[in-house]
Amino acid sequence: MNWLLKQKRVAVLICFLAVGSTVLVATAEVKKKVAPVTKNPVAQSMVSFETALTKYQVKKTQNFFPALTKRELKIEEALGTETDCRFLDQPLAEVMAFFAEKHAIPIIILGIDLGEEGLTVDEPVDFDVKNVTLHDALELILNPIGLTYIVENGVVKITTTFKASEKLTSRVYPVGDLCRTVEDYLTLESALRNADLGDWRERKTGCASEKTQSQPQKPGASHPAGGGFFNIPDGNFKGGESVAPLLYEDGDGGTITIVPQSHALVITQTYHAHKAIVDLLTQIREAGVQE
């Protein structure tokens, strides 16, 4: 009997231990589920930075109007991709057909433009290069024979450098994040004109703003801001100010018009000049972000 009683007591004790361990495990599982997840501030910062960077890159790509079409974006992306090629006295037409097929973009040669310079689509191309962008490859092939390319109407057009210099288009560049006062706009305008991005038309002399600036000023009177370009009393754009336009002489080259009401620059220039302007404005903005 004593032995049987001992066996029963041992069995009951084992049951209690089993139930207790089960309760402890269940409690631990519940705590694990409801335990607050600690946030990693470093990881959060990286996510925020990457999100901001992505937004900045998109803004950088399309920071002008009219925005590029889907076809133009595809072409610009292709022009920035690397390419390899080797040509041994192959006709220009075959070379362009090779690049068009390789990068899946439309490329046409404007034969009439070439004919005006005594060139043909059969101009021999002797060229061997690796790991350069398609843009650089085209420039290295075309520039030595007086040719270049432009992107127009959703296709890449091969033409002469002279014809390309005559094809001017206008874009609106919002610059409100860079400019607040008249002096800011004029400084940016000077930076663009002095950066050797393209040819610019000469300014006219004797325009209304210059006449205003040249008039005798009374002692203590405030001078109009803008260095002869604008007639704005205090140098700040608030809307409704009298702005004398900057006029240009007739001739070749691009122009820059400041539109304070829209905090923008309207720039008329060639295809390659616009590409350079986008790059320069991007670099100016990146310099400001790093401060």
Nearest residue to 100 (alpha-carbon basis) of 83, 121, 117: 83
CB 287 within 8 A of CB 188: no
pLDDT tens for the chain, 291 residues long, are 555 545 556 555 555 555 455 544 445 454 444 445 455 544 444 344 344 444 444 344 568 999 999 999 999 999 999 999 999 999 999 999 999 999 999 999 999 999 999 999 999 999 999 999 999 999 999 999 999 999 999 999 999 999 999 999 999 999 999 999 989 999 999 999 999 999 999 877 654 444 434 444 444 444 333 333 444 445 455 544 444 556 788 888 999 999 989 999 999 999 999 999 999 999 999 998 876
Per-residue pLDDT, 189: 93
What order of strands is seen across the sheet that includes strand 147-152? 107-109, 155-160, 147-152
Kindly give the interhelix angle for 182-194 and 271-289, rounded to the nearest 10 degrees.
130
E-strand spans in the chain? 82-91, 107-109, 124-133, 147-152, 155-160, 169-174, 255-259, 264-269
Q: Which pLDDT belongs to residue 157?
A: 98
Burial 129-142 (b: 16+ CB within 10 A, else e): eeeeebbebbbebb
Q: What is the pLDDT of residue 94?
A: 98
Question: What is the pLDDT at residue 187?
Answer: 94
- Per the DSSP assignment, residues forming a β-bridge with 80 are none
Q: Are 117 and 160 in contact (CB under 8 A)?
A: yes
